[in-house]
Every structure is written in C-alpha cells, then in structure tokens.
C-alpha cells in the first residue's frame, strides 16, 4: 500500500512539474527543502525492486557520504526516478551503477546504449526508443535541469551502455536576520 501511495505521489508531482514548467511566467517552481539524496535514491530503488529483480540487474552503489541538498524535493525525485527507470528499462541482466557525491549524482548502466546519431535527440519531446513510449521523461528531466540551472550530461556507446550525470546548482539557503 505504501508503494502505491508513493507512486500516486510521484505521478502527481510529475503532473504538477509539467504544468509549472509549462508556465514560463511562473517564478515559483517548488519550495526548496533539505534532501538526503542517498535516501531518495534508495526510495526509488525500492519502488523499482520488482523490475530490477525481473531483469536480473545488479545495483552497485558508490555513495560518498550522504549529501544534504537544499533543493525542490519533487523535482529532484522526478529527475532521479526518470533516469533510474530509463537505466532499468534499457538494461537486461547487467549492472546499474549509482554514484553520489557532494552536489551531483550519476547513473550508469551496461545496457543497450544509444546510437551516436541519436544522442542529440534524446532530450527532445516525443523522442522514445520503446514502442508505446511517450518520450516525455528525458524531455521533462532536461527542462527541470535547465530551469533550475543544473547541468545534465549524457554519454552513451551503442552496445556498451549509458552514463547520465546531473550536477545540482544549489541556491544559498536564506538565513533570517537576527533582531
């Protein structure tokens, strides 16, 4: 039941993020809050545990500490969840590596990879490699990264896998003036 509730919450956050990002005049995306990135990644891994097991995937974690980030939690969740889901869907019987350090994380896989001539298209709306896919996931991730001044890098070799790295640009946490 908890997994269903989290899935509904994630879907609602996805819809809200899409609506907010579509309103260019909107200056408030979401409220920033303290995020334990490693805990958030572990929550996503738990949500995808069935798919991970079904595809005989090995998850390797390299968490250099557990950085506390001050960012919009829903947008970080959508970003991590989409990137992790893509790695799971495109890797069969391989390895997914998750690396976390300071203000960045990366997800690499030993999956099918992306052809070099398609790399420039992966963030475009409606680009999808799977039948029935909407092509909205990576486009939304890219829009979130652009809007919040995060850097996203994608490197892929056909037949060898993909590495996606996101570097978070944190705002300075406002500290109230003492009286």
In a domain, 85, yes or no: yes
| Termini Cα distance of the chain | 47
Helix 2-22 to helix 73-89 angle (10° resolution) is: 110
* pLDDT for the residue numbered 70: 87
CB 53 within 8 A of CB 83: no
d(C-alpha 13, C-alpha 17), whole Å: 6
CB 134 within 8 A of CB 128: yes
* pLDDT for the residue numbered 28: 52
Q: Which residue has the tokens 């090995």?
A: 58
CA distances from 103 to 46, 118, 152 (A): 22, 28, 12
Q: Total domain count for the chain?
A: 1
d(C-alpha 179, C-alpha 172), whole Å: 21
In a domain, 17, yes or no: no
In a domain, 23, yes or no: no
Report whether pLDDT(93) > 70.
yes
CATH number of the domain where residue 161 is located: 3.30.565.10
Chain segment 98-121, per-residue pLDDT in tens: 999 988 899 999 999 999 988 888
Report whether pLDDT(1) > 80.
no
Residue 134 structural domain: 33-167
d(C-alpha 42, C-alpha 44), whole Å: 5
Q: Pick the range with the lowest mean pLDDT from 6-10, 47-51, 155-159.
A: 6-10
Report whether pLDDT(6) > 70.
no
Q: Count the Cβ atoms, other than its own, within 10 Å of residue 10.
A: 17
* pLDDT for the residue numbered 13: 63
Closest to 148 (Cα-Cα) out of 2, 67, 30, 22: 30
In this structure, what DSSP letter does residue 116 have?
G
Query: 19-40 burial, b for 16+ CB within 10 Å, e for fewer?
Result: ebbeeeeeeebbebeebebbeb
């Amino acid at each position: 039941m908890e997994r269903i509730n989290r899935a509904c919450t994630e879907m609602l956050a996805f819809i809200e993020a899409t609506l907010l990002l579509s309103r260019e005049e909107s200056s408030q995306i979401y409220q920033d809050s303290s995020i334990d990135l490693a805990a958030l990644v572990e929550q996503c891994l738990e949500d995808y545990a069935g798919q991970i097991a079904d595809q005989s995937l090995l998850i390797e974690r390299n968490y250099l500490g557990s950085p506390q980030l001050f960012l919009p939690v829903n947008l970080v969740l959508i970003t991590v969840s989409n990137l992790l889901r893509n790695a799971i869907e495109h890797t069969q019987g391989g390895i997914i590596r998750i690396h976390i350090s300071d203000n960045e994380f990366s997800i690499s896989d030993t999956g099918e990879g992306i052809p070099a001539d398609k790399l420039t298209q992966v963030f475009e709306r409606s680009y999808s490699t799977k039948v029935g896919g909407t092509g909205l996931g990576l486009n939304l991730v890219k829009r979130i990264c652009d809007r919040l001044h995060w850097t996203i890098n994608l490197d892929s070799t056909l037949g060898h896998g993909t590495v996606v790295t996101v570097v978070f640009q944190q705002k300075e946490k406002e500290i109230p003036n003492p009286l």
